[in-house]
Structure 1
């Protein structure tokens, strides 16, 4: 008779980090399907930004230290062709020094972001947040909706791979719906799956257009499962109904971009939204761009009426006090 596995809750947080995906990295822990793990995640700057930082710190950013991920974790029984399920259980924010509230940063990094050519100068903004709300400015409050921007498995291809682009096995997905109660499914390409996670955010708009959300350190608890032989071609996820934040009670204002190129259309929609935020709310351009990154949702409204497609940018009016 085979003795059944007793599911384990690992209370010691996993804090060991690595930079980039590499299937030759030794696992920091071995876990089994059904186990719950706790990860102590650093912000995406790798500690280079603190709550007292300025734009000069963004200018001197060391990109080799960005987006550290915690792990890897070896999942017993996981083989290529299987699918690892990752259930998001909870988050705990990291309070700032001398403050009961947590903090996060949003930055414009030269050469990075949807409108990099429009915003060539470094810029940094610090927000305060708790479990319920993010105070972006005294006049702008967003719902706290934490998630892990980078979450994935080691690829089969050998060598070190950048953590920046998303991949078939996950990685820097930046899907803001992967909050409490969500379940993510990741294709396994190597024995043990070799799972890692990082890049926690307090909130983000769909698109993360300036390249950063409200970046912050957090602890996150995840529960693992395994679908044998499922052979998914790319990540999938499911959400409980309660995971969708109700930020639209006061309606939305939307701008659009149209044309044969979705990327250019997205740029045009965000440029129009920055113009609206400047005219209607007197926000300067960098602050408006950052607000688009943390609160505005990009949507593909139409992609069948050739030769032009439509991208819409949705601003929830309820974030303004």
Structure 2
């Protein structure tokens, strides 16, 4: 299979199905993306606290692409296998006025800079206090172009992906995205070295990244209406999970959507009656808030351990 490359200059600040593709690939081929951090270069290793409050928000969260995948049609699913992620040598975490879950309680800008060594596997939050953060890189932004015409901000998440900020979609994960336009028009960005579920202050350890993904068109997953993913076994003490998501402006509706989508997956894949799938979700499923700050939408996941399910092709 051919390996293709998308450069840092091939970046956009909106999702728009009229943006011409950077490259065209065959289904099943691999693409490597070289992505600047989410500040789009506004934060540097010499930045101060003031920079966290002076960023131009219309110029952040750029995505690299789009990539046209031959054979992709509306109603299909794009399978994104995350193969490798290489983060930069430094990163940053910021508190910006007016942004984050507790923005009214933390109105002052704050910036924390990090020296990163991916080979070391961790970074100290506070070495004197022995607070150590494991490095688990992932791309916060992964998505395909929406079917609706027009330009849509890259800051929120959507049913077609976007700013999912979901830490479980790291190297070794598989993401499934519903395709709404011919060619899918896949883009990626927003490198994170580490982040918790929810990204409550609005930033992770933001960093540049080089990420390789394999893009495959699936014709057999018509039940994929929002992002689904399979997490790597190392990401959770209970091993690999299958996750469906709900992406809605209301948190409860996002949770309902995530459960509803899991029921549909279990029904389509394992032929469970819907009421039985509903009960299984209650017994072994975990609802998690993956993204809580990039308004207007939340991302809630319904995660079921693979260990309780029969082996199934993906």
TM-score tier after normalising by the smaller chain length: 0.7 to 0.9
Per the alignment, residue 206 of structure 1 pairs with 197
Checking the alignment, whether the CA contact within 8 Å between 2:94 and 2:203 is kept in structure 1 is yes
Per the alignment, residue 189 of structure 1 pairs with 180
1:1-321 matched pairs, under 5 angstroms = 7-10=1-4, 12-15=5-8, 16-94=10-88, 102-131=89-118, 132-138=121-127, 139-228=130-219, 230-231=221-222, 232-244=224-236, 299=288
Question: How far did 1:134 drift?
Answer: 2.1
Query: What is the TM-score normalised by the length of structure 2?
Result: 0.72
In 2: Cα distance, 1:159 partner to 1:70 partner: 18
In 2: Cα distance, 1:179 partner to 1:202 partner: 10
1:214–1:165: structure 2 CA closer, same or farther, 3 Å change rule? same
Checking the alignment, whether the CA contact within 8 Å between 2:170 and 2:232 is kept in structure 1 is no
In 2: Cα distance, 1:148 partner to 1:262 partner: 23
Q: Specify the structure having the higher radius of gyration (Cα).
A: 1
Checking the alignment, whether the CA contact within 8 Å between 2:87 and 2:191 is kept in structure 1 is no
Question: How far did 1:18 drift?
Answer: 0.4
In 1: Cα distance, 2:193 partner to 2:159 partner: 25
What RMSD in Å do the two structures reach over aligned CA positions? Answer: 1.8
In 2: Cα distance, 1:262 partner to 1:31 partner: 37
Q: How many residue pairs were aligned?
A: 238
Checking the alignment, whether the CA contact within 8 Å between 2:6 and 2:22 is kept in structure 1 is no
1:69–1:125: structure 2 CA closer, same or farther, 3 Å change rule? same
In 1: Cα distance, 2:23 partner to 2:195 partner: 30
Checking the alignment, whether the CA contact within 8 Å between 2:143 and 2:162 is kept in structure 1 is yes
Per the alignment, residue 306 of structure 2 pairs with none
In 2: Cα distance, 1:240 partner to 1:213 partner: 20
| Local SS of the residue matching 1:125 | strand
Checking the alignment, whether the CA contact within 8 Å between 2:6 and 2:64 is kept in structure 1 is no
Structure 2: gaps (5+ residues): 239-249, 253-286, 290-314
In 1: Cα distance, 2:237 partner to 2:215 partner: 25
Per the alignment, residue 304 of structure 2 pairs with none
| Local SS of the residue matching 1:215 | coil
Structure 1: gaps (5+ residues): 1-6, 95-101, 247-260, 264-297, 301-321
1:116–1:14: structure 2 CA closer, same or farther, 3 Å change rule? same
Structure 1 ranges of 4+ moved more than 6 A: none
In 1: Cα distance, 2:50 partner to 2:140 partner: 25
